[in-house]
Amino acid sequence: MENKPTIYKSGIVNTQFGENVKIVEPVNIYGCKIGDNTFIGPFVEIQKDVIIGKNCKIQSHAFICEMVTIGNDCFISHGAMFINDTFSEGGPAQGKKELWKKTKIGNNVSIGTNSTILPVEICDNVVIGAGSVVTRNIIESGIFAGNPARKIN
């Protein structure tokens, strides 16, 4: 007897779009809100309850998990990853969504290629350097880089 896998197809479902949104498929986008004039590149996943503002650009291979809010005029570069589960009990919070935490990104924020954003708040007018890991709230505008990300300018 041959076992067959369960196959899921990527797609776009239950999503609210503003005007003039552009998407390059394939993507996996569901249960979220995407503002006017936003561009989403291929191989992006945006999960439910995410809110993305106006005039944003989400580049390929980005992952935006539940409980993330992104302001207006933001740039999320290739391969940027958002995390909502901090493994606070030593591993994944399987079935314990109450352990997940929110992320809030302000306006005019650029997040560099392959950056990882843990559950934090980032104020307006911030640049996150490529490959950075943001582990703490950023409350002052400027350029931040490194692991953990620190202000460099």
Assign residue 65 the CATH number of its domain: 2.160.10.10
% of the chain with per-residue pLDDT over 90: 95
Per-residue pLDDT reduced to its tens digit, 55-112:
999 999 999 999 999 999 999 999 999 999 999 999 999 889 999 999 999 999 999 9
Does residue 125 lie within any of the structural domains? yes
Residue 86: count of CB within 10 angstroms of its CB: 13
| Tally of structural domains, the chain | 1
Does residue 2 lie within any of the structural domains? no
Length of the chain: 153
Does residue 135 lie within any of the structural domains? yes
Q: How far apart are CA 76 and CA 59, in angstroms?
A: 6
Does residue 3 lie within any of the structural domains? no
Does residue 92 lie within any of the structural domains? no
In angstroms, what CA-CA distances link 80 with 15, 16, 18, 24, 95?
A: 21, 22, 23, 17, 25
Buried b (16+ CB within 10 A) or exposed e, 101-110: eebbbbbbbb
pTM, two decimal places: 0.95
Does residue 41 lie within any of the structural domains? yes
Q: Which structural domain range is residue 39 located in? A: 12-86+99-151
